[in-house]
């Protein structure tokens, strides 16, 4: 197994530890999500999880981006950037569905209208879309996700290259991602500070160097200029971005919270209880 797979396995083992600390009764009458959910059943759970995840991220920076997906499983940490208290006690669905879990995840070449519609379906607005897109300051994307960005001349010209100012960036992308094959080759979402959570993503957008098509459309298809103003604000004020990101993350963590008999605390996060 690769080092990344090994570290992810460690995180899921820790996650399983947390699940065993949770109350398993479907009659639980506590509020849907609360701080200090494990205070009585596992008083040291959060401290243990936080420490071990920090160690894993230090060993493999890519872990930080992967852990964004664990925000909904009571486990979250970032490499740099803001901090906040995560509301805990989220229930899992009674049905495990891979297609359902990925139903509203936008494709890497989504149009701005599609992105806005996807976010609206989850109760998130354009401001949340821009703030949460800032998470692309970390992590990597597969070649298959940005090949169009590198080779579709019309697409590239439409975005930023009409004066051929960004051919160097396109050349870098092509050196990583061939015109066909090698779909799993990786490129950092932020070429400048790929392992640091900062506001450099927004500088990239302003320079036409967003890796994914769904990044570049935030500006190129923003005909009213509302998003551009927000991008400019975040690029010039990192603290403003951090504050907005935290607010949107907390808002996102409260999407579709299950209560009562609607869900359960799984003994194994990959399977429904038997």
Q: Which residues are catalytic?
A: 73
Binding-site residue ranges for heme b: 136
Three-state DSSP class for residue 250? helix
**Count of H helices and E strands in the chain?**
13, 4
Binding-site residue ranges for substrate: 106
8-state DSSP, 157: I
Percent composition of the chain: helix, strand, coil (DSSP 3-state, to 5)? 55, 5, 40
CA dihedral for 69, 74, 78, 84, sign (positive or negative):
positive
The Cα 63–Cα 77 span in angstroms is: 9
Binding-site residue ranges for Ca(2+): 137, 190, 193, 198
Radius of gyration of the chain (CA): 20
Binding-site residue ranges: 106, 136-137, 190, 193, 198
């Amino acid at each position: 197994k690769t080092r990344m797979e090994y570290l992810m396995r460690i995180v899921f083992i820790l996650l399983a530890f947390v699940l065993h600390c949770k109350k398993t009764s479907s009659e639980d009458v506590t509020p849907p999500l609360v701080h200090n959910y494990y205070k009585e059943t596992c008083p040291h759970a959060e401290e243990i999880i936080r420490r071990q995840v920090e160690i894993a991220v230090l060993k493999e920076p890519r872990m930080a981006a992967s852990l964004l997906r664990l925000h909904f499983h009571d486990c979250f940490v970032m490499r740099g950037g803001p901090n906040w208290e995560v509301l805990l006690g989220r229930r899992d669905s009674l049905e495990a569905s891979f297609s359902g879990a990925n139903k509203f995840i936008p494709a890497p070449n989504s149009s701005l209208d599609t992105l806005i519609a996807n976010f609206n379906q989850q109760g998130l607005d354009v401001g949340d879309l821009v703030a949460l897109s800032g998470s692309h300051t970390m992590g990597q994307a597969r070649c298959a996700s940005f090949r169009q960005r590198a080779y579709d001349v019309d697409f590239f010209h439409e975005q930023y290259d009409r004066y051929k100012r960004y051919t160097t960036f396109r050349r870098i992308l092509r050196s990583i991602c061939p015109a066909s094959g090698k779909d799993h080759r990786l490129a950092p979402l932020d070429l400048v500070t790929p392992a640091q959570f900062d506001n450099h993503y927004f500088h990239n957008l302003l320079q036409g160097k967003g890796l994914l098509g769904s990044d570049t459309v935030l500006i190129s298809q923003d005909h009213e200029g509302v998003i551009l103003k927000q991008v400019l604000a975040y690029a010039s004020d990192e603290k403003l971005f951090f504050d907005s990101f935290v607010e949107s993350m907390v808002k996102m963590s409260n999407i579709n919270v299950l209560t009562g008999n609607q869900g359960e605390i799984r003994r194994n996060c990959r399977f429904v209880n038997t």
